[in-house]
Amino acid sequence: MTFALYRRPGGVVFLDDDPDYLEMLAEVMPPDWHVQLFLRPVGCIDTLMQEPPLWEADAWRQQEIINRWREGAALLPQILQYWREDGTARFAFTRVCVVDYSMPAMSGLRVLSELTGWSGARVLLTGRADEQLAVSAFNRGLIEQFIPKQAPGIRQRLTDAIQGLRRLPDPRHQQTWRATLTREQHALLCTPSIAQELESLVLRQGWVEHVVIGAPFGVLALDAKGHVSWLQLEPAENLPELAEMAESQGWDAPTVQDIRTGKKLIDLELQLALGASQPPQPRQAFAIASEPPLLYAALFSVDEALSPGFMNSHERFIATRGERKLQD
């Protein structure tokens, strides 16, 4: 298991010539998903094929952050600026396309073959007679999954499959943000127990978007309302150095000892990166699952003035989408 270095919410497109089936999907899909419903292949293809140039522009904006960092600019202020300036545009990108195989005008596989340059995940819904074709398509890498429409518990099975695909790390994002990590930092994040614990923490905190960076080492995260948190990560071997830094900043002996033993962390690098006027603060720390502990973490809030805020939040984006309606 690999922890995603960058993740954000992704939209879901459904294409099916059965309006009743689409209306059922509209009702049962999670309300915080951006869902589009299409009855005709042409409209679905046209909509999705508008996205690749937008993806490319967005990917380049992220790469420019890395380029400026290599020239000496701090990462954290740049990421916060990117979120604020982008608003909610990135939330509209489709992450998963679910297509019915058996349609009168064009088969589902033909539709997916038309999506050249669209790099989202593809799911094929099949009838009983279509399953051998679906197996072949899966084996050839044309689709990520296929699900029989008559399968027991189809609603939950489809929801779980889509959610799994939405949460997969995007290879391009992984490559972009991997550049900020040292080999040792990356190895820690690839440790299965640590990756699993970080995934669980993301869910518990309700974060919808996050970026992992190595300088300083941690996770910058957004919740659905546009609030920003910083999860500071400290390898166990760095604790003595952090304790010395705290001592040089004038912290009392008990606090310095708590930092040295991994009971507390101090957000010195966060405040330096943000150019904040307030002094660094210690926070209760905890070990990220491994034995012996290899990695410690502590949660810090980021000034609301630096956050995207509710007007640029995913929650507002979903609210402005309105009712899920069928499109041609």
Contacts 24+ apart (CB under 8 A), 24-28: 24/155, 25/158, 26/324, 26/326, 28/155, 28/159
Please state, for a pLDDT cut of 90, what percent of the chain lies above it.
78
How much is the pLDDT for 37? 98
Burial of 22-49, coded b for 16+ CB within 10 Å and e otherwise, reads: beebbeebeeebbbbbbbbbeebbebbe
| d(C-alpha 265, C-alpha 233), whole Å | 9
Place of tokens 């608003």: 87
Tell me: the pLDDT tens digits for 239-254?
999 999 899 988 999 9
Both structure tokens of 261: 């033993």
How much is the pLDDT for 321? 93
User: Which residues are CB-contacts of 188 (< 8 A; sequence separation ≥ 6)?
Assistant: 194, 233, 235, 294, 295
Statement to judge: residues 227 and 258 lie in one domain? yes
Statement to judge: residues 28 and 162 lie in one domain? yes
Statement to judge: residues 127 and 199 lie in one domain? no
DSSP code of residue 89: G
The domain boundary, picked from 144, 169, 194, lies at 169
pTM for this model (two decimals): 0.93
Question: Residue 277's pLDDT band (boundaries 50, 70, 90)?
Answer: low
Average pLDDT over residues 101-110: 88
Q: Where are the alpha helices (DSSP H) in the chain?
A: 19-28, 41-49, 51-70, 75-86, 108-113, 131-139, 154-167, 171-178, 183-189, 192-205, 239-248, 253-260, 268-274, 314-321
The domain boundary, picked from 113, 138, 169, lies at 169
Residue range(s) defining the domain that contains residue 27: 6-169
- Residue 71: which H helix or E strand, with range? none
Tell me: the pLDDT tens digits for 80-100?
999 999 999 999 999 999 999
In a domain, 318, yes or no: no
Statement to judge: residues 162 and 181 lie in one domain? no
Statement to judge: residues 58 and 154 lie in one domain? yes
Over 80: is that where the pLDDT of 12 sits? yes
In a domain, 195, yes or no: yes
Contact 99, 112 (CB under 8 A): yes
Statement to judge: residues 144 and 227 lie in one domain? no
Statement to judge: residues 258 and 188 lie in one domain? yes
DSSP 149-165: TTSTTHHHHHHHHHHHH
Indicate the range of 34-48, 177-191, 271-285 predicted with least confidence: 271-285
Over 90: is that where the pLDDT of 143 sits? no
How much is the pLDDT for 135? 78
Tell me: the pLDDT tens digits for 158-213?
999 999 999 999 999 999 999 999 999 999 999 999 999 999 999 999 999 999 99
Domains contained in the chain, number? 2
| d(C-alpha 94, C-alpha 34), whole Å | 8
How much is the pLDDT for 1? 66
Average pLDDT over residues 114-140: 83
Average pLDDT, the chain: 93
Statement to judge: residues 17 and 162 lie in one domain? yes
Question: Residue 128's pLDDT band (boundaries 50, 70, 90)?
Answer: low
The CATH number of the domain where 119 resides is what?
3.40.50.2300
Statement to judge: residues 90 and 152 lie in one domain? yes
Average pLDDT over residues 137-150: 84
DSSP code of residue 194: H
Q: What are phi and psi of 118, to 5 degrees?
A: -90, 120
In a domain, 33, yes or no: yes
| d(C-alpha 6, C-alpha 175), whole Å | 10
